[in-house]
Structures are given as C-alpha cells and as structure tokens.
C-alpha cells in the first residue's frame, strides 16, 4: 500500500504541473491576440532615428599579456655540483656577467689529458716529416746521380760511335790508297816487262843483223867497220835488256811492297772495325746499365705515396686529438653560465651545493627595458591589422593609466587550434612598471571614415542582395527605400545612396512595418543616427 502511494504522488504532481503550464500558455495566447487587435486599430508603434553625418570608427578590442622580448633560461650542458650562485630574483645583471659555476675538476683533468694527446700526436707527425724529408733528399740525389751517369754513358756511346766511324773511314782510306799504289806498281811492272821484252827483241834483232853483217864481211861484201858497228849495236841492245830487266825487278819489288802495304791496311781496317764495334757494344752496355740504375732510383719514388698516406694519417690523428681537446675545453667552458643579455633575474630554481643535471634550469633572465604586449586577433581581421598600426593599452594592475604603442609584428601564420593570428606591440619600459605576465586590454582602431549620412545599424535590413530602410514622411507614413551602404561601426552604418541627412528612418519596430503603412512614434523617436533608442523587441526583423 505504501509503495503504491509513493508511486501515485509523483504522477499526480506531474499531471498538475502539465495542466498549469497548459492553462498559462492559453492565457498568454489570449493576451497576445487582444494586444494585436488593439494595436491593429492604430498605426505601427516604432522608434525613429534621423539620418545624420558621423565619423565612423571601427575598432577591435582584444586582450593580451606582457612578455619580455628576451627570455633566457640558463641551464648547464654538463652535470655537476653548483659551486657559485649569488644572484636572486629581482637582481639586475649585465651581459657577460658570470652567474653560475659548476664544479669542473673532472673536466679539467680531461682537458690536461687531451693536451698531452695533442702534443704526442704532433711529435709523431714532426718525426715522420723529418724522416720523409731526409728520405726524399736521398732519393732525389740518387736519381740525379744516376741521371748524370746515364747522360755520361750516352755521351761515351756517342763518342765511341763517332770514333768508330772516323777510324773505319781512315782505315778504308788507307786500304784504298794501298790499293791505288798496288795498281800503280802493277802498271810499272807491266811497263817494265814490256820494256824488257822490247829490249830483248831489239837485242835479238841486233844479233841477227850482226850475224848477217859478219857473213857479208866474210864474203867481202862489206867493210870491217860495218861489222864493228853491228857488234856495237848488239852490245848496246844487250845493255838495254839488262837495264830493262833491272827496271822490271825494281817495279816488281815496288809491287810487292805495295801489296804488303795493302794487306797491312786491310788488316788495320778489320782491326778498327772489330775494335770499334767492341767499344760501341761496351758503351751501349754502360748506357743500359746506367738507365737501369736510373729506373731503380726512380722506382724509389713509389714510396712517396706511402709516406704521404702515413703523414695524412698522422695529421688526421693530430686533428682528432685537437678536436677532442676543443671538446674538453668546450665542456669546461660549459661549467660557467654567463648572462647573454642585460636583464633582470626573474626565476631561481637551485641553490649552491645542489647537483644540477644537464639541461636542468637554474636561472631565468629577462630583458625589461622594453616589452612586448602579445595578443591574438580573429582571422577575419587580418587584412585590417598591419604592422605600424597604433594601439591603446590598459592594464588591470595599473588602473587609470593608458599606454600607447604600435604593432611591431603580425604573425603571418594562424594558430592551428584557435585559428587566430598573433600580434606584438612594443612598449618602452625603462621604469620596469610593466612586468611579464601582466594582463592587458587592447583597443585597435581598424578604420576611420567621415560619413555624410549614417543611420543606426538596426535600421538597415538585408533582403537578398539588397539593403532596405523604412523612411517616415511628414504624414507619419512608412516608405520602403532601397539604399547603398558603406562603412560601419558598432552602432551606425553609412548610407551612400538612397537617403540624405535629416531623413527620418525606422530604427526599431514593435510589429512588422509595411510600405505605405501609418506609424506611431515611440518615446525615443527623433533621435539621430548614432543614438537611436531601443524599444521592446530590440533588433527585431522588419517586413
């Protein structure tokens, strides 16, 4: 029974609420119909505004924060105990001032070790260079010596060849001369032989003639004198034969002598040829030997690439040792943290004696002589916001103070999540009143137009691609007027065509207004384009 009652009570309450809501809604609909019927008997109730000149200023309000242009977080590259750290938050520091020292005794030992390695590597390189220098000198001297020996041997060969030609030519000349003498001697022998034969013939002829003369004398045909003459002629001819025979013998001796000289000359020529060829062969052998010695000496130069490779390896060892030394010295330098800027310490996270790990932040130094106010702007305003644009800035932490600056930078890339662009405004801050992280309010003047005719924004309605305004004439009749709009701000909009200054327009209406309809002015009628009043229904649509 209790359970049924517990279920029924909520149901009854819910049913009562539904009935009450239904009766209330019916009453509201009845009141609305009665109100509309009452209003239909008179003109449409509206709020009017007067078209008037106005300077339209379009601004953009946004918020941002103060940021230092140089925010340096000092962290060591090497791990170790902090031996020196004296500055604290608020202390001013200078660029190059030593702020933190990390214990570097171990690294100092590494530096000394690497210096020793560099000295050893340089010593090995110097020794190799000295050895190579002496070896190169010896090889060069040997090559020059063997080249000189080759030149000398080639000169000897040339001289021997020339001597051989001269000696052979001389010997051949001697042989030729001997042959000429032999030929001459043979001619003399032949001439002498002919003389002997002639003398013998003359002697025989004289003997025959003597014998005939003697026979004739014995017969008494001639005188004794004729016999004596014939006998004398025989004796003369016989003497001539002896002379001719002696000349033949002398010519034969001369021929034999010439033949001996010829044989000797031929022997000397053969000897000269054999000796000359032997001397040439010996000289050629010396040339070949000298050339071989030069080739051997030149072949020693092939060791040069090996020496060069060894020197290159030693130079590389020196460079490697020097590189390791520079690394050790760099690690030693990394134990000292200096301020890279003139600034103020804004954060300290460690104390002396603490063990700092590599990359752990110890201090933060920020530059405060001038600061940036950073903010973001919607993507649709990026075409209007440019570098150099003035901005007015206020800070909640500095009430009653206004700062002016210019946009220094506009980020050309939007944030991927917010789809907004970042801007930075530079403000001088020599007194350091502005602190990083302070909240700022920014007002940017995007445009400023001196419009001749303006109306409240709510007076203009867009229908399709055209803009309309309801004007009100002196008979309180509404007329639908097509207009051309221009610039605008948060309250008013410029009318370039369709209205003139002083025209009355409907800014707000309590019910739809139609062309030609009579209107009834509200309490705020007659106010200008920049100050149209707000009636019930706010910015309701017009027909």
pLDDT tens-digit profile of 404-449?
999 999 998 888 888 899 999 999 999 999 999 999 999 998 888 8
Name the pLDDT band for 522 (thresholds 50, 70, 90).
low
pLDDT > 70: what percent of the chain?
85
Report the run of H or E that residue 392 belongs to, with start and end: strand 390-395
- Residue appearing with tokens 């309180």: 476
The yes-or-no verdict on residue 308 having pLDDT over 80 is: no
Residue 489 CA to its chain's centroid (Å): 55
User: pLDDT by residue (tens digit) across 118-174?
Assistant: 898 888 888 877 776 666 666 677 777 878 887 888 888 888 788 878 878 887 888
| CB atoms near residue 356 (< 10 Å) | 22
What radius of gyration do the chain's Cα atoms show?
71
| CB atoms near residue 320 (< 10 Å) | 13
Helix (H, G, I), strand (E, B) or coil at 87: coil
Name the pLDDT band for 268 (thresholds 50, 70, 90).
confident
Average pLDDT of the chain, as a whole number = 82
Residue 366, beta-bridge partner list = 71, 344
Q: Rounded to whole angstroms, how far apart are CA atoms 72 and 69?
A: 10
Helix (H, G, I), strand (E, B) or coil at 388: coil
The yes-or-no verdict on residue 267 having pLDDT over 60 is: yes
Contact 411, 425 (CB under 8 A): no
Contact 224, 294 (CB under 8 A): no
pLDDT > 90: what percent of the chain?
30
């Amino acid at each position: 029974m209790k359970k049924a009652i517990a279920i029924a009570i909520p149901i009854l309450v819910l049913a009562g609420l539904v009935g009450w809501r239904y009766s209330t809604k019916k009453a509201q609909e009845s009141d609305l119909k009665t109100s509309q019927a009452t209003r239909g008997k008179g003109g449409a109730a509206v709020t009017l505004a007067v078209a008037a000149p106005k300077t339209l200023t379009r601004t953009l309000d946004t918020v941002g924060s103060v940021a230092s242009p140089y925010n340096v977080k000092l962290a060591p590259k090497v791990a170790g105990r902090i031996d020196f750290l004296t500055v604290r938050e608020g202390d001013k520091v200078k660029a190059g001032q030593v702020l933190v020292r990390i214990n570097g005794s171990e690294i100092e030992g590494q530096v000394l070790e690497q210096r020793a390695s560099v000295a050893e590597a340089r010593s090995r390189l110097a020794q190799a260079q000295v050895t190579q220098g002496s070896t190169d000198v010896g090889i060069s001297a040997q090559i020059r010596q063997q080249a000189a020996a080759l030149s000398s041997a080639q000169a000897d060969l040339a001289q021997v060849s020339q001597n051989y030609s001269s000696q052979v030519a001389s010997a051949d000349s001697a042989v030729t001369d001997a042959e000429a003498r032999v030929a001459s001697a043979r001619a003399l022998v032949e001439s002498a032989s002919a003389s002997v034969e002639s003398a013998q013939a003359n002697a025989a002829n004289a003997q025959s003639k003597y014998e005939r003369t003697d026979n004739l004398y014995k017969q008494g045909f001639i005188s004794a004198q004729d016999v004596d003459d014939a006998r004398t002629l025989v004796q003369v001819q016989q003497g001539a034969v002896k002379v001719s025979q002696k000349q033949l013998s002398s010519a034969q001796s001369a021929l034999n002598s010439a033949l001996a000289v010829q044989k000797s000359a031929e022997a000397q020529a053969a000897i000269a040829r054999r000796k000359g060829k032997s001397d040439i062969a010996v000289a050629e052998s010396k040339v070949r030997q000298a050339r071989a010695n030069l080739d051997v000496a030149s072949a020693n130069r092939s060791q040069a690439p090996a020496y060069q490779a060894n020197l290159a390896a030693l130079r590389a060892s020196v460079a490697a040792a020097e590189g390791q030394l520079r690394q050790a010295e760099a690690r030693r330098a990394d134990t000292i943290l200096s301020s890279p800027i003139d600034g103020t310490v804004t954060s300290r996270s460690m104390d002396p004696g603490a063990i700092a790990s590599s990359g752990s932040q110890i201090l933060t130094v920020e530059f405060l002589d001038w600061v940036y106010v950073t903010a973001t702007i919607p993507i649709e305003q990026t075409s209007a916001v440019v570098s150099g644009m003035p901005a007015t800035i206020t800070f909640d932490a500095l009430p009653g103070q206004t700062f002016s600056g210019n946009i220094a930078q506009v980020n050309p890339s939007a944030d991927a999540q917010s789809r907004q662009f970042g801007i930075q405004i530079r403000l001088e801050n020599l007194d350091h009143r502005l602190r990083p992280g302070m909240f700022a309010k920014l007002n940017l003047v995007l445009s400023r137009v001196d419009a001749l005719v303006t109306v409240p924004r709510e007076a203009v309605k867009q229908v399709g691609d055209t803009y309309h305004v309801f004007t009100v004439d002196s008979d309180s009749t509404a007329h639908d007027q097509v207009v051309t709009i221009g610039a605008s701000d948060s309250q008013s909009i410029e009318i370039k065509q369709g209205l003139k200054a002083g025209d009355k327009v409907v800014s707000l209406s309590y019910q739809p207004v139609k062309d030609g309809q009579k209107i009834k002015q509200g309490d705020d009628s007659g106010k200008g384009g920049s100050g149209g009043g707000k009636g019930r229904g706010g910015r309701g649509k017009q027909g």
